[in-house]
Homo-oligomer: A and B are copies of this chain.
């Protein structure tokens, strides 16, 4: 079966200039893929390809639009129309570089959450010392998570990594502040128990507690955490990486000798840059919805956006949605029923 992606071509900091260029590369690299290019027809008219067609959308969600604007006002936005292609079955996954809050809210409103899932989560790979990547979730969609939410994240993260890496039983670590069972917040202690039970019943390959540095060591394939904590870990890591790169540049520019030294070391520095290049890790999955949605970084360039397309394509071809549903169904005895979560976004718009 042909796999079709719906691409929000208007989203992100750069819009069609970047998204269309990435789409062209993507189509060349994947001779069986099809694309639905969603956006304002004028802006997309220049793109001609036998396996791509334009799906018109008159509006664009701006990067700084409030969630409410995206949800209630701009009902014909490229972001929303792209997600609707997944809802109707015309596409197997949607990709957008639009703003995260709007994308999550609209995706949740249009697609709804899967049975057994209270809150969708954002999962993204981060580079690790083993030369691969560690998938971390949640990265900011949910704060004040309960142990049940963390279990749901663990189950969904396992489905994601098994779909993308081929590993049947990826290992899961619970982010904590120490390896001892006694440490951690009340929620983390309960989550640790719950994940241990899920490990014993074969729903997960639970490794145990891990700490922040284990994300980058690659101790486990997946690291599960509250969205507040995950977002802080992500942003702090980006901050340190920028700091180090900034210091390197400053030191290199100090005088003519250090400049020459840095030039001599160019192959080493270029290789380093490539290894920590965040574009190679672009493409976060919104998990827990009745359809696949991938989020590109807003500032992604052509290469970054293409990586996001690739991830969405691989996830769709490897039936990520079925895998998530199957794993959730299997873990169902451990997942308590709907917790009376008010789901304010849906309530507010229906």
Contact = CB atoms under 8 A, between A and B. Distances in A.
Nearest to A219: B239
Contacts of A215: 236, 239
Interface stretch (A10-18, A32-40, A257-265, A280-288): A257-265
Contacts of A128: 243
Copies in the complex: 2
Interface string A252-283: 10100110111011111101100110000000
A240 B241 contact: yes
Interface stretch (A19-27, A225-233, A308-316): A225-233
Interface in A125-164: 127-129, 140, 143-144
A246 B212 CA distance: 17
A260 B260 CA distance: 13
Say whether chain A's binding surface is mostly helix, strand, loop, or mixed: helix
B238 A213 contact: yes
A237 interface: yes
Contact of A243 (B129, B247, B264, B266): B129
A244 B276 contact: yes
30 contacts: A128-B243, A129-B243, A129-B247, A140-B177, A143-B188, A144-B185, A175-B232, A184-B228, A188-B228, A211-B232, A212-B231, A212-B237, A213-B236, A216-B236, A229-B229, A232-B233, A233-B233, A233-B236, A240-B240, A244-B244, A247-B275, A247-B276, A251-B272, A258-B268, A258-B271, A261-B264, A261-B267, A261-B268, A262-B268, A265-B269
A143 B189 CA distance: 12
